[in-house]
Amino acid sequence: MPAAQVLVVDDEPDIRQLVQEILEDEGYAVRTAAHAEAARSAVAERVPDAILLDIWMPETDGVALLREWAEGPGLPCPVVMMSGHGTVETAVEATRLGAWDFIEKPIALAKLLITLQRALEAGALREANQALRAQILPELAPVGDSAPIRALREQLGRLARHEAPVLLRGEAGTRKESLARWLHQLGDRRDGPFVTVAAGAISEAQAASTLFGAEEGGVVSPGLLERAQGGSLFLDEVAALGPELQRRLCAALERRELLRVGGLKPVPLDVRVIAATAMDLEAERAAGRFLDELYFQIAVVPVEVPALRDCVEDIPELVSSIVEQLARQQLPPREFSTAALKRLARHDWPGNARELRNLVQRLLLLGEPGPVSLAEVESALGQRGAAAREPGEGFEVALDLPLREARERFERHYLLQQLQTVGGSVGKLAKLAGVERTHLYRKLKELGVDIRASREA
């Protein structure tokens, strides 16, 4: 393994030589620079793995050089500041500009080596994260060249440069969480955490402590909001939050601080909010199920996520992308024949991109080597259709009904049939229908669907 490269920048020759000898004895490859201009040239020639930078230098001091890098292309690597005349204000300013640490002169050998080692480890971790982001970003980005996808990509790209809350609106299965992660990775908070709040999966009994954290007997348990500090908070299917949780979340976002359950002192809150829903929040607000104040906080910028049926011309590219991703998971890659791709483009895709991915995965797992044929696709799609029709007869809705009543009749019939298919298991039904469990229970109750009767049928 090659030795780590360290650049020592100090205007005092004795210190440069001493630090160089110490570090070379420890196995580091060391270059030195006597002033800011020499440091610029050394970095331009070869970016080091870490820089030891003196604060007090003639002409351009260390803090000014640090600011130049921070406000320009960014720090080239972890920078450790050195000074025999440091003040608290100087240390704070250097830290604000991104310096990794601060060492006082005369330099203690143990302190120097430990600080440098940690700085190098932080730099290696940053490079690994950047490489991982470079690998993950294409998988998260909206795939395709249709007009709706181009517009979505362009809109999210613009929003990534700002901190405004975003509401992703679209049908179940349209990859809203992936889009939220992509938005996070493009923005300035990319190095911070991305925390998902699956609203429908939060237990009502533990909802407040799960989201806001808890304090008991001096023991602090951070909640999901606190874990998102400095990063992004993704509220998945935000409409499934209960009334009390909506009120508490609304207050926390408005005040930019949260109060843990059992806590007495508010905690400052620094998160970017990205919410998502497959429901009509306007209708939920009108019905009194979603708080107006929370809606206006999370829907500062609403973004419509198109359904797959509205951009079927992207299916060949989507299929190719899915096959490539699954191949990295050790599934055997297969090409899709032109006839197979055309048949996929004619499908209605009620489950959107999630349904397409599941179908492609099944064809890779169960198919024979060679291109995927039209017959295989027909068979896979036919099985899905048959499964959807299985335990009952055909269903028709009178077209003279109001839209709301027609939709409710269809939803009731659909949920009854699917409940029988999964043996009355609401958990399995939630996965099959792509709906959060809490919202599903509420919907079943609204439609008068008897879960116990489905289990006994």
Helix (H, G, I), strand (E, B) or coil at 348: coil
Residue 315: pLDDT band (50, 70, 90) is very high
Cα-based angle 242, 195, 268 (whole degrees, multiple of 5): 80
Q: What is the mean pLDDT of residues 50-61?
A: 90
Q: Is the pLDDT of residue 186 over 70?
A: yes
Alpha-carbon span 17 to 380, nearest angstrom: 72
pLDDT attached to residue 132: 52
Question: Which of the residue ranges 204-208, 281-285, 402-406, 415-419 would you say has the lowest mean pLDDT?
Answer: 402-406
Residue 400: pLDDT band (50, 70, 90) is low
Percent of the chain with pLDDT over 70: 88
Alpha-carbon span 230 to 318, nearest angstrom: 33
Q: Is the pLDDT of residue 3 over 90?
A: no
Q: Is the pLDDT of residue 133 over 70?
A: no
Residue length of the chain: 457
Q: Where are the domains of the chain?
A: 5-132, 161-304, 308-389, 403-456
Q: Which fold has domain 5-132?
A: Rossmann fold (3.40.50)
Q: What is the mean pLDDT of residues 431-437?
A: 74
Name the nearest CA neighbour of 372 among 382, 362, 384: 362
For 242, phi and psi rounded to 5 degrees?
-70, 165
Q: What is the mean pLDDT of the chain?
A: 84
Q: Beta strand 50-54 with 232-236: parallel, antiparallel or unpaired?
A: unpaired
pLDDT tens-place string over residues 104-113: 888 888 889 9
Q: What is the mean pLDDT of residues 415-432?
A: 75
Question: Which of the residue ranges 244-248, 267-271, 381-385, 453-457 would you say has the lowest mean pLDDT?
Answer: 453-457
Residues 6+ apart with CB under 8 A from 173: 308, 351, 352, 353, 354, 355, 434
pLDDT tens-place string over residues 197-250: 888 777 777 888 889 988 887 778 888 999 899 999 999 999 888 888 899 999
Beta strands (DSSP E) in 237-279 are 257-258, 267-268, 272-277
Residue 338: pLDDT band (50, 70, 90) is very high
Alpha-carbon span 13 to 9, nearest angstrom: 10
Instruction: Please give the DSSP secondary-structure letter assigned to residue 261.
Output: B
Beta strands (DSSP E) in 291-424 are 301-304
Residue 293: pLDDT band (50, 70, 90) is very high
Alpha-carbon span 108 to 100, nearest angstrom: 17
Residue 451: pLDDT band (50, 70, 90) is low
pLDDT tens-place string over residues 343-398: 999 998 988 999 999 999 989 888 778 899 998 898 888 754 433 333 334 455 55
Helix (H, G, I), strand (E, B) or coil at 8: strand
Higher pLDDT: 294 or 3? It is 294
308-389 matches 161-304 in CATH topology: no
Side chain identity at residue 141, one-letter code: A
pLDDT attached to residue 352: 92
The domain 308-389 having CATH identifier 1.10.8.60: the answer here is yes
Helix (H) or strand (E) holding 52: strand 50-54
DSSP for 351-366 reads THHHHHHHHHHHHHHH
Compute CA distances 32 → 128, 195, 276, 319, 404, whole Å.
27, 43, 52, 53, 75
| CB distance 167 to 284 below 8 Å | no
pLDDT attached to residue 387: 39
Helix (H, G, I), strand (E, B) or coil at 329: coil
Question: Can you read off the two tokens belonging to residue 301?
Answer: 């910028």
Domain 161-304 carries which CATH code? 3.40.50.300
| CB distance 125 to 119 below 8 Å | no
pLDDT attached to residue 140: 77
For 275, phi and psi rounded to 5 degrees?
-110, 160
Name the nearest CA neighbour of 223 among 167, 180, 262: 262
Q: Which CATH number does the domain 403-456 belong to among 1.10.760, 1.10.1740, 3.40.50, 1.10.10? A: 1.10.10
Question: Which of the residue ranges 331-345, 367-381, 408-422 would you say has the lowest mean pLDDT?
Answer: 408-422
